[in-house]
Every structure is written in C-alpha cells, then in structure tokens.
Structure 1
C-alpha cells in the first residue's frame, strides 16, 4: 500500500493538471475557434480595406472627378501584385500577426491624400498615399484571404466567409451612413464633405493594431480536432519557387479568367456613380449597396455550408446564380449607358433615379457575392493546406493586376462607360468555359486541401515558425 501512494499522488496531480488545462481550454475555446478568428479578421478588414472600399464606393474616392483617383488606384494595384506574391514567404518570416499589422498600416495615408487634395488641392499626396497603400495592402489582402480559407473546417467554410464578408462591407455601410449624414442636403454634383475623410483616417489608424488579436494558427481549436497547417518548412527562396509552382498549375490557370472577371467591375461601378449622381445620391448608394452585400453574404454563406445539398450541387448551383446574374447586369449596363436619360447629375428625387441607381447597387452587390464565391472555389482548388496559402496570395496578385488595368483604363476620360461595360461583358464571356471546367470537378475530384504536411529542404515535415510570436 505504501509503495502505491506515490503513484496515486502523482496520478492525482496529473489529473488536477489535466482538469485545469481542460477548464482553461473550455474557457478560451471560443476565442480560439475559427469563428472568433473570422470576427477578428473582419474587424481588421473593417478598419483598413473596409474603409478604403467605403471611400471608393462614394464614386471616384469622393472627389468631384474620378480620373485622378482611378489613376492612383491603378498604381496601388500595380504595387500590390508584388507584395501579394511575396506574402507567403514574408508571413513565414514574421508570423501572421506582424504580417497582418504591416499590411494594414498603408491605408490611412491614402485617405489622408484624398483629404489634402480635397481641402488644399495637393494632388501629389494622393499618389504618395496610393503607393503606401499598394505596398502594404498586397500583404494584407493575401494574408486575410489565406486565413479565411485555411482556418475553418470545411463544413463551416461558408459561415466563416460570410462573417468575414459582412465585416468587410460594414466599413462601407458605416462610412456611407456618416457621409450621408454630412451630405444629405447636397443635391448637386461635386466632392464630398472633407470632414468625412477625417473620420475615416481615425478609423484606419486604429485598425492595424487589431491584427494582434488574431489567434495564431497553432492556437486555433477546430471542431474536427485537426490542427491548422499554415506556415511552410521552406526558406524564403524555396517558398517563392513553391508559389510559382502553384501559379503554373492547370487548376490555377483555369481560375485566372474567373478572378479577372470577378474584380474588373469595381472601377466601372465607381466611375459610373461619380459621373452620373449627386453627392448625396452617391452617399446613399454606398450605404444601400453595403446593406445589400451583408444580406447576400449571409444567404450565400448559408447555402455554401448547407449539408442537405451535396458539395457538387452547391458548387454548380452557386456558379449558375453568381455568374449568370452578372451577365444580366452587364446587358442592363449596356442598355442604360446607350440611352442614359439625362445629362444632369441624378438625385434621389429625380424621375430617372430608380433604374439608374438600382444598376449601381446590384453590380456592387454581385461584385461582393462573386468575391465571396471565388474564395469558396479557391479553397477546393488547393491540394494541400500550404497550397491554400499560396493560392490565396496568387489570387490577390492576379486580382491586383486585373484591377490595375481596370482602374488605369477608367482613368482615361475618352474611355466611355458603355465601352467599359462592353469590355466587362467580354471578359465575363471569356471566363465562362474555364470556370465551368473547374466547377464541374468540385465534389468529384477536387475536394479541398488534404491534411498533410510538406517536407522542407532538410526532409523534415512541419513548419519552421509555427510558434512564432509566442
């Protein structure tokens, strides 16, 4: 009996320690869940790129003419191509939280440049702000996309994407509400009230700090018990080669036209709003479109997770809706721009307001649902968890290249809106077949990342910086 006592005492100590650990895990289980991470990721998005979207949704960045802002945005997206491509290697070096922080610090100078131009007529600051935004935003966008498709379980991917998307457009909704309150009496064309920019700048200065609230990959507790495999065991140069390997894979090449048609409409829609509507109508448009995007995000997220339908059915049905509806919208845009009813700025009390304003709202809403659906597709294109991170960075790089071209062409005054709508319809047509070739394989032989590690240059499996930031 006496010899058994030490073992019993030791077992009791282990039991107490295990109970305490279990209690601690229960206490922080939600905070380390993919859902909690989605809320934090959404908060980061709301206070940085969400406000950027809010400003651009005012039409031409809230300026009286959209051409300078379109040119600045083209510069932003050109710089984002490089930083998005480099994001997996950078994240491997500094960790998720620091990388997300660095990705968020460049947005405020851009809005500050818009304020300086609006109040003092200093145009070069807009270009400088666009450059700082581009250098950081590529890292932010690529990393948030990687987190959004890597952290959740497959059965809750739609929910996480929906939460993230709601937060993404919440910045636009709040920004639109603020702008609407400050400009409700301005029933004429022109620039927005400059006080709007001050509010936006304050929010964007706070935003990057929220990156440190995001749980690190090894801290995430999934329902299925599987660990998040996020970092890779490769050094910087080798990781770039691995990213390039994904870029030239058959599956990713087929998705590139879908990415391009997905993001190309943004510059058209913002230019359309700036050219044709009064200041207060533009503010209302930003607000209403954001509300529509929230509703769509919830509905689409629910459907993408609906277990009553097979993965194959969900992929094909969402393809038919998201892509099919876009064709109808571009047809409508061609008709509206061919016979726009007035040369005057359209206000909300105009007899032409309904049909012209609805086009803007619906294109913007479809843009966001296309955006969300694209991440669903990219999750199933990736074959390993590490490839999911690389796929997200390449997605953002291709998006940036497409938007650089879109905003660059929109900055040309001679490039009319009807021509821009025609180009968008042509790009949609070019993307139709390649997209279908991928969609028809989802739920058949494309079922998402396999839960397996990668071997680095030393033959070891795992991540080189899994404990980074501890």
Structure 2
C-alpha cells in the first residue's frame, strides 16, 4: 500500500500537477504558434514568457524555500490557465497585447512551479533511485502533452486549414485550473519519508534576505557555472522544433498528432534513460560518463538527420502559399510524412534524455532539498534565458538553416563541457555542501521495501 507521506506518492502527485499545467502548455506550444496559422503573436508571447521565466526561475528556488512547495506550485499553476485563455481571446479579437502579457505572467508562474518541482524531484528519492523517480515524473508529466495533443487532433480532425477552435483552448484551461488546485495536495517536505525510512533533509526556513543572498551565491558556484552552457541549451531547440518543423511543415490536425507522438517519445526516453542511470551494474560515476556519452552521440546522430530535412525547405518557400498553401503536409500523405515524423519523434526522445540527465547530475551534488531548490531555480532560469534568445531569433525572421546551425552548434559545444562535473561524482552525496555525509545505502534491495515504514 502506498502511503500519502511517502516520497513516491508525492512525486506521483507532482507528476499529475505538471500533467495538467505545463503538460497542457507543452501540447499547445508543441503545435507551433499556439495553434494559430500566423506565428507572430505566439512567438512574441514566448519571448515575453521566457524573459520573465529567466528572472523568476532564478528567484523561484528562494520563493519555494520560503512559501513551501504547495503554495508555490498552486500560484504558478494558475498562470498556465491564464495563458491558454489568452489564445481563446485572441481567436475572437486578433489583438496580441493580452496574449503577450499573459506570456510574461506565465513566465513568472512557471519559474515558481518548476523551481519547486525540481527540488521535489531531486530531493525526495534515495540516491540509488533518483534516475527512476525522475523518469517516472517525466512519464506522468509528458502524458499531459500526449493527451493534450489529442485534444486539438480530435477537435480539429475535419479541419486541415486555419487556427484551432475555441473548444481546444477551453479544454486546456479547465485541465490547468484543476492541476493548480491539485498542487495544494502536496505534503510539507519535512513530513515526507524516503524509501529507506529517513526523512527528507530540509534546512530551517531562511528569511528573505538570507535566501536572496544564497541564490546570488549560485553565480559563484563552480559546478553551476560549468553546467550553465548545457542549461542554456536544454530548451533552446524548442523554438526550432515547434515553430520551424511542426508549425511550418504540417497542417493543423497533423500538428496535433505530431505533438502527441513527440511527448510520447519523451515518456519512453525519460523512463528508459532514468532507469539506466540507476543501474546497479555500474558505479555512479561510470553511469554519469556513459549517460553523457549516450546523450552526446544521440544528439549528433539525430541532428545530422535533421540537416537533410532542413536543406529541403526555407523560410521563403514555406511562406509562398503557391508552393505550400496553409502548411500542407497531412498525416495521410505517408510518402512525405514518414521521414519528418520519425525525426520529430527522435527530437522529443533526446530532449527528455538530456533533461533527465541534467536533473540526475544536479541530484548527485547534494541531498539537501533546500539547496536543490536553488539549483532547480538556477537551472530553469538559465534554461529560460536560452529559450528567450531562441524565440527572439525566430521572431526577427532568422533563416531556418541559420537557426538549425545555431542549435546544433550549441548542443555540440555544451554537452562535453559537463564532463568536469561528471568526473566529480562520488558514490554518495553529502546532505549539504559543508561536508556532512549520510549513512551508506544498503547493498541489498531492502531499501525498496519501505511501505511499512512509510
């Protein structure tokens, strides 16, 4: 029997919160242009979103340490519903101001939600189950993107042109509001019990000034600085994948189907990779080295395939409706649909593996949930700064090939730079950065048989 205060239960609840809130956002954003034919408003909204996200992602860890995860996630979750509602408004008015403002507000809320999420996901599991828990969370979370993609696919099945309909946006809003309130069901961190029967390590609640200073110290933390290029890159490619590939090449119903398959691939990639990162066959450092190698080789292979697709079209040819009227590729056109589809699936799978690896790597640095909350905030802040730059690059009309080259170059350069942190990995982490070492983990499987303790 799974107990409410067990770390597993709490991660599952968190997964369903993100299933409802960012999961639905991912489904909406994954269609390209927020489901609109003209991508200008959606792109500018994402620039505003990721700009504020970069700031409040950094501050989100501190806010979470002060307010606690329940209220931090609840407040953040409500902003996702506001953003979906802004596209419903745009469908009727074609006025972009509210949608762009809602994007900026969502950046604030997303920064809060994801900082709290990262702290829970990295601090609640025992050291030998962090990869598994991260993978489990990613499966539940991306199930939201899968089911969310089915909404526009089903509601727009008989439409091959135009924007998605009102029912799509209303459906997203309702689910996201439910998800925000579900965040209130999370238990206080100090009451959560890990799989080995110990409590989650939580430092005393700091005052606002002390917490702000602790966040600032991250800019002098050598491990965070080394990881900064990789963090910057982790969402950078979303603009290219969502707007250039899915939003440009496919009609509206096929974009919904592609979104389903993209997030489904993320579920598979995250769970399998997370399970591998907890493998007992190798020591933790060796798993770190192997994981980094798999991510690097995988990205190289997939983006090489992407180059062949990108060389077949440009921004000018897709804008010419005599050549490509209303984003014409439909899922029934198997001869031209299959190749781009599988490429898009592998893009999604590699994204999940990359982010799972980043969370796992941060989780090897400490077991202190307070510090991990700051790490998660730093990660999301830097990641969102990259997203803001990427969306702005697209907004100013940068050629598709140039966007592709920038993405591939960033991935190729940033992933190997993570190696010094991988080399630093020890078999067990201190509960804080002052050198406290927890008791050794048991070598048998008794660590998993903890339901009676919880």
TM value normalised by structure 2: 0.88
2:58 alignment partner in structure 1: 85
* Distance in 2 of aligned mates of 1:205 and 1:32: 24
Deviation at 1:194, TM superposition (A): 2.6
Hey, what's the Cα distance between the residues in 1 that align with 2:434 and 2:185?
A: 26
Structure 2 CA distance, aligned partners of 1:68 and 1:224? 50
Give the match for residue 346 of structure 1.
Answer: 329
Closer, same or farther: CA 61–355 of 1 in aligned 2, 3 Å: same
**8 Å contact 2:367–2:432 — kept in the other structure?**
no
Pair 66,218 (structure 1): closer, same or farther in 2 beyond 3 Å:
same
Decide which of 21, 27, 46 is 1:73's aligned counterpart: 46
Q: State whether structure 2 residue 406 is matched by structure 1 residue 423.
A: yes
Name the counterpart of 2:439.
none
**Quick one: distance in 1 between partners of 2:233 and 2:68?**
32
Q: Deviations over 1:405-446 (max 9, x none)?
A: 111112222x122111100111112213311222233247xx
Distance 1:340 1:245, change over 3 A: same
1:288-343 deviations in Å (ceiling 9; x for gaps):
11221112222112111111222122111111112221122222222211123984
Q: RMSD value over aligned CA atoms?
A: 2.1
2:415 aligned counterpart, secondary structure: helix
The question of 1:54 aligning with 2:27 is answered yes
Residue equivalent to 2:385: 401
SS in structure 1 of the partner of residue 294 of structure 2: helix
Say if 2:28 and 2:34, in contact at 8 Å, map to a contact too: yes
Name 2:446's counterpart in structure 1: none
1:384 positional shift: 4.6
Name the counterpart of 2:210. Answer: 238
Cα distance in 2, alignment partners of residues 321 and 78 from structure 1: 31
Q: Look up the match of 2:232.
A: 260
Query: Against the structure 1 CA distance between its residues 432 and 42, is the aligned structure 2 distance closer, same or farther, given a 3 Å change threshold?
Result: closer
Moved more, 430-439 or 391-400: 430-439
**Please, which runs of 5 or more residues in structure 2 have no aligned partner?**
318-322, 437-454
Does structure 2 retain, via aligned residues, the 8 Å contact 1:182–1:196?
Answer: yes
Of structures 1 and 2, the larger Rg is shown by: 1
SS of corresponding position for 1:381: coil
In structure 2, do the counterparts of structure 1 residues 401 and 449 end up closer, same or farther at CA, with 3 Å as the change threshold?
Answer: farther
Aligned length: 424
Q: Spell out, residue by residue over 1:81-108, the C-alpha distance to the aligned partner (whole angstroms, 9 max, x if none).
A: 2222222332233222111111111111
CA separation in 2, counterparts of 1:302 and 1:70?
A: 35
Provide the TM-score with structure 1 as the length reference.
0.85
Alignment of 1:263-342 (within 5 A): 263-271=235-243, 272-340=245-313
Which has the higher mean CA deviation after the structures are superposed, 222-231 or 243-252? 222-231
Q: Could you say what secondary structure the match of 2:382 adopts?
A: helix
Instruction: Confirm or deny: 8 A CA contact 2:60 2:112 kept in the other structure.
Output: yes
Distance 1:141 1:411 in 2: 25
